[in-house]
């Protein structure tokens, strides 16, 4: 079975990479950055985000993802709209990690506990017990 925290966090990073690429295209027109700098920097950040999604199962993977959230929010210094967009993705990142951890904990408790036939399993009805 797949690790829910890893799947949700990787999804956030990949979608964030797509948004960063589009933001780089906007930045080349709305900022004083040259096309090469804006698009090249955005593409590089997008590649790092995708790579980070692939290393979430390794030590430090979630720290890298968290660091990248700070970097994406910091791009708001160049393109102010990225403060909001980066903040939304940082919130999604926190939600993915927190909820994923909760799902993992609940799944471990379920499989290590009484299981489906236990007192609170799917077969239980109101008034059982």
pLDDT per position as a tens digit, 80-105:
999 999 999 999 999 999 999 999 89
**Is a pLDDT exceeding 70 seen at residue 113?**
no
Residue 49 burial (CB count, 10 A): 26
Q: How far apart are CA 75 and CA 84, in angstroms?
A: 10
Q: Which two tokens stand for residue 122?
A: 């799917």
- CA 79, distance to chain mean position in Å, is 21
**Is a pLDDT exceeding 80 seen at residue 114?**
no
Global pTM reads 0.81
* Residue extents of the structural domains in the chain: 4-106
- Looking at residue 126, its pLDDT comes to 55
- Residue with token string 């890298």: 64
Q: How far apart are CA 5 and CA 127, in angstroms?
A: 34
- Residue with token string 């980066």: 86
């Amino acid at each position: 079975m797949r690790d829910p925290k890893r799947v949700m966090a990787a999804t956030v990073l990949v979608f964030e990479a797509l948004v960063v690429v589009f933001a780089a295209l906007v930045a080349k027109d709305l900022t004083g950055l040259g096309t090469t700098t804006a698009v090249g920097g955005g593409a590089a950040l997008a590649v790092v985000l995708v790579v980070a999604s692939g290393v979430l199962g390794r030590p430090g993977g979630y720290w890298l993802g968290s660091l990248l959230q700070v970097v994406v929010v910091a791009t708001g210094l160049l393109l102010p709209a990225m403060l909001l967009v980066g903040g939304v993705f940082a919130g999604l990142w926190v939600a993915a990690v927190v909820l994923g951890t909760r799902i993992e904990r609940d799944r471990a408790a379920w499989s290590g506990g009484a299981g489906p036939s236990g007192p609170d399993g799917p077969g239980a009805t109101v008034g059982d017990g």
